[in-house]
Amino acid sequence: MIGVLQSWDPEGLVVRHVDSSLHEIHVSDVTAAKTIPEMPLRPVDVEQLFLTTALGRPAVETSYVGQWLLRASSGWTGRANSLLPAGDPGMPIPEALKHAEAFYDERGLPPLALVRLGSPEEAEFIAAGWTDARPGQSDVLVMHTTLDHVNASPAYDVLIAEQPDEAWYAAALDGPVPEPAPTVMEGAPKAVFASISLDGVAVAVGRGSMTGHWLGVDAIRVDPSYRRRGLGTALLQGLARWSGPLGGRRTYLEVLEENTAAVTTYSNLGYQPAYRYRYLTNG
């Protein structure tokens, strides 16, 4: 049995498998044991992950230029209202960009592209005159790890629901729920909504979605009055334990690089950078 040692006592031990299942082993059945160094994190297929992140949180309206994905959701969130230049646009890039600009102009939205830093597309967009759409904001860091690192037992009771209720949205968003939000947040084929309630109130929420063997985690939010208590970590662990039995093996999330507290928390859990992106515009 290979896994993470969950607990042990003179009677035996409990090993946690990658699918979150726990296996009790009586001490009499143990003939030998040794510590296995932590397995190095396997290299990630960045191109695949780039597309996977989009599938985990679909937009209200989508269209394609070749393999490039155009997304629109009445302007709510950058991810749901931007071009994802993944794959071959099927035409010269300057021509593809004109199609993208027309798509957003028809919907009264500024042309926006989610561009992976260091990619050939970034250079092509900049050469075409596209510039940083959010110069006052840091780049977004996409981080990944194996599920083994984050599927431990949460320190709090994490409720996993297939549909978000009013309390979840109230904790996740400021003010009224935007019209596109339910479609964007609930539109993935496999998505769940995690929450932790203390003192009778939902004080921490998060969202998980499954795309293949990838668990995507987003919308993590903890009430400021309850921060630094490990609630965010518990949400990640609860979502990881949900995804393990469904075939989840790896997990990703996105975080602004300037959010150093969150980056530190995720790094301590075993997440490592996969790539960075920023939004470019020609508006």
At 236-277, the pLDDT tens digits run 999 999 999 999 999 999 999 999 999 999 999 999 999 999
| CA distances for 106 relative to 22, 59, 101, 181, 186, angstroms | 53, 17, 9, 21, 26
pLDDT-above-70 percentage for the chain: 88
Asked if residue 19 has pLDDT above 90, the reply is: no
Output the pLDDT for position 84.
98
Dihedral (C-alpha) 201, 206, 209, 210: value to the nearest 10 degrees?
-100
Output the pLDDT for position 188.
94
* Tokens representing residue 239 in the block: 């979502």
Asked if residue 46 has pLDDT above 90, the reply is: yes
Q: Taking residues 170-185, what's their average pLDDT?
A: 96
What are the pLDDT digits (tens) for 72-110?
999 999 999 999 999 999 999 999 999 999 999 999 999
Average pLDDT of the chain is: 91
* Tokens representing residue 89 in the block: 């646009």
| CA distances for 30 relative to 13, 14, 84, 160, angstroms | 9, 12, 52, 35
Output the pLDDT for position 33.
67
Asked if residue 1 has pLDDT above 90, the reply is: no
Output the pLDDT for position 11.
67
pLDDT-above-90 percentage for the chain: 83
Asked if residue 48 has pLDDT above 80, the reply is: yes
Query: Residues 32, 38, 44, CA angle at the centre, nearest 5°?
Result: 140
Element holding 265 (H helix, E strand): helix 260-268
Residue/partner pairs of 35-43 with CB below 8 Å, 24 or more apart: 36/2, 39/146, 39/148, 41/144, 41/145, 41/146, 41/270, 41/272, 42/146
Output the pLDDT for position 40.
64
Q: Taking residues 216-230, what's their average pLDDT?
A: 95
How many whole angstroms separate alpha carbon 281 and alpha carbon 283?
6
Asked if residue 12 has pLDDT above 70, the reply is: no
